[in-house]
Chains A and B, each alone.
Chain A
C-alpha cells in the first residue's frame, strides 16, 4: 500500500514538474537561441493567398515578406521603399495620367533576383491582368513600361489621382514579386516571392493555420529584420485569440470589441483607429425588386429612423462610432447627415405613400460577429418602430454572401468598406458595371468624371458625395474600428485613420 502511495506521489511530482516547465515555455519561445527575439502574431483570419495580385481583402502582414514600392507612414505621409522618387508628369494627355518612379539599386527579391524596372513593370502588368479584387484601381488598359534599368512609367487611360497611395502596402499593387513567380503564379502556393525583410519558410508553415517567416538574406532596406523570426498563428475564434493572449502565447493579435476589455485587463495595450463603414447598400435604388426602395424619401426615412449613437454605444464598447453616410478619405458628406428623427422618418414614409409600412428583405454576412447579424437586428428593431419590417437572411460563408448579391433578389445587402479615396470607392459601388442590378445615377457619374478631369477634383466630388448621401443610396450604421492587441514586448505599433487603420509590422521593434 505504501509503495503504491509512493508511486502515486512520484507520478504527481513528475506531472507538476512538466506543468511548471510548460509555464515557462512561452518565455522560452520568445527568447530563442538567436540574440533577436521572436515576434508572435495572432491573426483573426489567414492570408487568403501569398499572391498580392489575387488577395481579396486586407492583409497587414504582407509588408513583412513583400516590400512595397512606397510606404505610408502612420500620419498618412508617403515615403519611398523600393522606389526612391516618384512624380506625375505632363505628357500632354491631361492631369494624373502619366506617372514615373525610380527604384533604388540594392533591392533583391527573396530568391536573390534584382528588383529592377523590368521586374516592376512585369509585376504591375501581371497585377492588372490577374483580375484580382484590386486590379481595376488603375482603370482599364493601363500601361506599365520599364525605361532603362531603374525607371518605370505608368500610363493610364483615365486620370488616376492617387497612384502614390496605390503603390503603398495598403493596396497591394506596390508589393512587387519576383519574375519567376509572376511567370508561374502556382509558385505562390509554396511560399513568398517578395522583397520584404522576411520570407515564408514552407517547412515551418501550414497554410491556413500558421506561417513562419524567417529573415530574407537578400534584404537591404531600412526595415532590416529586427526579429529572429516572425510567427503568424491563425485564431478563427476571438475567445481563442484572447486565451492565447492571456496565457502569453502571442505578442500581438487582431482584436474584437467583445474581448477588448479582457485583453486590456491582461496588460495588453489596445491600438485602434476608425476603419470601415458598416452598412446596407441599397443597390436596387430604382425599385426593380422592391418598389419602396426606388423612392428617395423611403431611403431617407430609413436613415432617419435609426438611433445609431445608442447602437454604437451598447454593441461595441466604444470601438465604433455612428455614421449615416459612406465615408471616404477625401470628400465625405458629414457623418451625422441623418440625425435620429423617427417623427421625420414617419412623415417621409407617409409622403411616399407608405404610412402603413412595408416589408423589405436583406442578407447579412454572419461571420462578422457583432458587426453582422446583431448590428442589423438592432437596426431592424428601429425600422419596425416606423412601420418597416426588415427580414434578415444570414449568410454563413463569403461565397454565400456573394451568391446572394448576384441573385438580384435582395434590394439591399450588407457590406463594409474602409475609408478609401473617392477614386477607389466610386468605381466599387457607384459606377457601372459594379452595381449588381446594373443601376447607376447619371448625375453621380457625371460629377465623378468632372472631378477626375479637373486639376482640383474636390469641389465636384464633394457635390457627388452629398448627392449620394441625400439620395440615401446607402444605409450605414457605424464606422467600425480596427483593433489590435499589443504586449509590452513590442514597440512601434501604431495606426490611424489616415493610414486606413492599418498597422505595418515592419515598423515594429522588440522592447
Chain B
C-alpha cells in the first residue's frame, strides 16, 4: 500500500507545483530578467521538457535512492538537506505526541472518572483547543515565558548532540504550542470512549465481582477505550505534521515544515518532492505503528 501511495502523492505534488505561477529560473534570475533569459535557463535545467518526462526522470533517480539536488542552490543534495532538518521535526512531533498522550489521555480519563465539573472543564478545554490556532498559542507562550520571564528561549533549536539540556529547553515552547491543540481533541475522545466503556456490561460485572477501581479504570476500561483513542492519535500525528509548518515559522526552527514553505516559494521541485516523500513515509510509518498497536490491544483484529 505504501508504494502506490508514494507514487500517487509524489505525482500529485509534481503536478500541483508545475501549475503554480512562476518558475525556478525566474527565482534564480531575479525580478528583472527577460523572458529570453528565463527560457534559456529553463532549457538548460531541463525544465522545458514535458511534465511526464520530468517526473519519470525524477522517479527513476528516486527509485535508486537519489532524490537529486536543489534546483535553486544547484548543488545542495536534497537527501542531505532533509536529513539535516529531519531531527528537528521528529523531535517536535515526538514531543508534541508525548504531551498529547500524557495530558490528553490523562485529562480524558480523569474527567470520565470524576464526571461533573471536571467533565465540563474538559469539554471547555476541547472547545478552546479547537478554537485557538497553534501560532497564536505560540506567540502568547513566547511573550510570557521568553520575553517577560526569560525562562525559555524564544526561538531556535539546539541539537541534542550539542547540549541535551538546551535541546529540551529549545523544544518546550514549540512542543506545547503544537501539542495543546491535539491535547484538547484527544482528551475529548478519551473521555467519550471511557464513558462508553465504563457504562458497559463487563465493567458492571467487574464492579460486582469486587475488582479494584484502579484495575477497572486502567486495565479494563482504558484498554478498551484505547482503540478509539489510538485512531484519533493516528490522525493527530498527520495533523501535527501540518502544524509543524506554522510552529516552525513562529519559533524559527530549522525543520521540514519551514523547508517545505521555502522550497515551494522558490519552486524548488526536487526539494519539494523530497519533503513530500519524507512526509508520506512518516505517515505510512505512523499508520503501521497504529495497526500494530490495534492488534496488541485487541487480538481479534489479527484473526480478521
| Chain A residues packing against B (C-beta within 8 Å) | 18-23, 25-26, 46, 48-49, 54, 56-57, 131-133, 185-190, 206-210, 233-237, 239-240, 243-244, 246-249, 395, 397-406, 415, 428, 433-434
With the chains together, A47 CA to B156 CA distance in Å? Answer: 18
Q: Which residue of A lies closest to B76 (CB)?
A: A189
The distance from the CB of B229 to the nearest CB of chain A, in whole angstroms, is 26
With the chains together, A210 CA to B255 CA distance in Å? Answer: 12
Given contacts A243-B142, A246-B147, 9 further A-B contacts (CB under 8 A): A56-B28, A133-B33, A207-B76, A236-B258, A249-B156, A401-B31, A403-B22, A433-B36, A434-B32
Q: Which residue of B lies closest to A206 (CB)?
A: B254
Q: Cβ of B252 and Cβ of A189 under 8 Å apart?
A: no
- CB-based closest 7 A-B pairs: A399-B22, A186-B75, A189-B75, A133-B30, A209-B254, A56-B30, A19-B151
Show 19 A/B contacts (Cβ-Cβ < 8 Å), sorted by A.
Answer: A56-B29, A56-B31, A131-B29, A131-B33, A131-B37, A132-B30, A188-B73, A189-B69, A190-B76, A207-B81, A208-B258, A208-B262, A243-B143, A249-B154, A397-B21, A399-B267, A402-B27, A415-B31, A434-B32
**Residues of chain B in range 230-258 having any CB-CB distance to chain A below 8 Å:** 249-254, 258
Residue B150 interfacial (CB < 8 Å): yes
Q: Which residue of B lies closest to A186 (CB)?
A: B75
With the chains together, A189 CA to B68 CA distance in Å? Answer: 14
Known contacts A208-B262, A209-B258; decide if A25 and B166 are in contact (CB<8 Å).
yes
Could you say which of A235, A237, A247, A428 contacts B150, with CB atoms under 8 Å apart? A247
With the chains together, A209 CA to B20 CA distance in Å? Answer: 24
By a CB distance below 8 angstroms, the chain B residues around A433 are 34, 36
**Residues of chain B in range 147-189 having any CB-CB distance to chain A below 8 Å:** 147, 149-156, 165-166, 168-169
Could you say which of B23, B29, B69 contacts A133, with CB atoms under 8 Å apart? B29
Q: Which residue of B lies closest to A45 (CB)?
A: B262
With the chains together, A233 CA to B24 CA distance in Å? Answer: 24
The distance from the CB of B101 to the nearest CB of chain A, in whole angstroms, is 19
With the chains together, A239 CA to B155 CA distance in Å? Answer: 11
Q: Cβ of A247 and Cβ of B146 under 8 Å apart?
A: yes
The distance from the CB of B80 to the nearest CB of chain A, in whole angstroms, is 10
Q: Cβ of A399 and Cβ of B265 under 8 Å apart?
A: yes
Q: Cβ of B150 and Cβ of A248 under 8 Å apart?
A: yes
With the chains together, A18 CA to B38 CA distance in Å? Answer: 53
Q: Which residue of A lies closest to B259 (CB)?
A: A208
Q: Which residue of B lies closest to A365 (CB)?
A: B31
The distance from the CB of A3 to the nearest CB of chain B, in whole angstroms, is 18
The distance from the CB of B100 to the nearest CB of chain A, in whole angstroms, is 20
Q: Cβ of B156 and Cβ of A233 under 8 Å apart?
A: yes
**Residues of chain B in range 8-52 having any CB-CB distance to chain A below 8 Å:** 20-24, 26-38, 40-41
Could you say which of B41, B84, B150, B154 contacts A206, with CB atoms under 8 Å apart? B84
By a CB distance below 8 angstroms, the chain A residues around B272 are none
Could you say which of B29, B143, B156, B252 contacts A132, with CB atoms under 8 Å apart? B29
Known contacts A246-B154, A428-B32; decide if A398 and B27 are in contact (CB<8 Å).
yes
Q: Cβ of A243 and Cβ of B146 under 8 Å apart?
A: yes
By a CB distance below 8 angstroms, the chain A residues around B259 are 208
**Residues of chain B in range 43-102 having any CB-CB distance to chain A below 8 Å:** 69-70, 72-76, 81, 84-85
Residue B266 interfacial (CB < 8 Å): yes
With the chains together, A237 CA to B166 CA distance in Å? Answer: 23
With the chains together, A496 CA to B215 CA distance in Å? Answer: 74
By a CB distance below 8 angstroms, the chain B residues around A19 are 149, 151-152, 169
Q: Cβ of A20 and Cβ of B151 under 8 Å apart?
A: yes
Q: Cβ of B265 and Cβ of A398 under 8 Å apart?
A: yes
Q: Cβ of B23 and Cβ of A244 under 8 Å apart?
A: no
Q: Cβ of B251 and Cβ of A240 under 8 Å apart?
A: yes
Q: Cβ of B156 and Cβ of A400 under 8 Å apart?
A: no
By a CB distance below 8 angstroms, the chain A residues around B33 are 131, 133, 402
Which of A187, A402, A405 has the most B CB atoms < 10 Å from its CB? A402
By a CB distance below 8 angstroms, the chain B residues around A18 are 165, 168-169
The distance from the CB of A203 to the nearest CB of chain B, in whole angstroms, is 10
Residue B139 interfacial (CB < 8 Å): yes
Q: Cβ of A188 and Cβ of B155 under 8 Å apart?
A: no
Q: Cβ of A243 and Cβ of B154 under 8 Å apart?
A: yes
Q: Cβ of B265 and Cβ of A207 under 8 Å apart?
A: no
Q: Cβ of B26 and Cβ of A239 under 8 Å apart?
A: no
The distance from the CB of A255 to the nearest CB of chain B, in whole angstroms, is 16
Known contacts A18-B169, A400-B20; decide if A237 and B29 are in contact (CB<8 Å).
no
The distance from the CB of A267 to the nearest CB of chain B, in whole angstroms, is 13
Q: Which residue of B lies closest to A16 (CB)?
A: B151
Q: Cβ of A56 and Cβ of B27 under 8 Å apart?
A: yes
Q: Cβ of A243 and Cβ of B147 under 8 Å apart?
A: yes
Could you say which of A188, A190, A235, A399 contacts B252, with CB atoms under 8 Å apart? A235
By a CB distance below 8 angstroms, the chain A residues around B36 are 433
Could you say which of A244, A397, A428 contacts B154, with CB atoms under 8 Å apart? A244
By a CB distance below 8 angstroms, the chain A residues around B147 are 243, 246-247
With the chains together, A469 CA to B101 CA distance in Å? Answer: 65
Which of A26, A133, A187, A208 has the most B CB atoms < 10 Å from its CB? A208
The distance from the CB of B11 to the nearest CB of chain A, in whole angstroms, is 21
By a CB distance below 8 angstroms, the chain B residues around A405 are 31
The distance from the CB of A437 to the nearest CB of chain B, in whole angstroms, is 12
Q: Cβ of B154 and Cβ of A402 under 8 Å apart?
A: no
The distance from the CB of B199 to the nearest CB of chain A, in whole angstroms, is 31
Which of B29, B249, B252, B264 has the most A CB atoms < 10 Å from its CB? B252
Which of A187, A206, A400 has the most B CB atoms < 10 Å from its CB? A206
Q: Cβ of B21 and Cβ of A404 under 8 Å apart?
A: yes
With the chains together, A236 CA to B247 CA distance in Å? Answer: 12
Q: Which residue of A lies closest to B35 (CB)?
A: A406
With the chains together, A237 CA to B154 CA distance in Å? Answer: 13
Q: Which residue of A lies closest to B31 (CB)?
A: A402
Q: Cβ of B151 and Cβ of A398 under 8 Å apart?
A: no
With the chains together, A243 CA to B75 CA distance in Å? Answer: 34
With the chains together, A132 CA to B32 CA distance in Å? Answer: 10
By a CB distance below 8 angstroms, the chain A residues around B155 are 233, 235, 240, 243-244, 247, 249
The distance from the CB of A20 to the nearest CB of chain B, in whole angstroms, is 7
Could you say which of B30, B250, B264 contacts A240, with CB atoms under 8 Å apart? B250
Q: Cβ of A185 and Cβ of B249 under 8 Å apart?
A: no
**Residues of chain B in range 245-287 having any CB-CB distance to chain A below 8 Å:** 249-254, 258-259, 261-262, 264-267
By a CB distance below 8 angstroms, the chain B residues around A402 are 22, 26-27, 31, 33
Mask, B103-121, CB within 8 Å of A = 1, is 0000000000000000000
By a CB distance below 8 angstroms, the chain A residues around B75 are 185-190
Which of B30, B70, B261, B264 has the most A CB atoms < 10 Å from its CB? B30
Could you say which of B37, B73, B169, B265 contacts A22, with CB atoms under 8 Å apart? B169
Q: Cβ of B29 and Cβ of A398 under 8 Å apart?
A: no
By a CB distance below 8 angstroms, the chain B residues around A54 are 28
Q: Cβ of A398 and Cβ of B74 under 8 Å apart?
A: no
With the chains together, A398 CA to B25 CA distance in Å? Answer: 12
Known contacts A131-B37, A207-B76; decide if A403 and B32 are in contact (CB<8 Å).
no
Could you say which of B34, B139, B143, B150 contacts A23, with CB atoms under 8 Å apart? B150
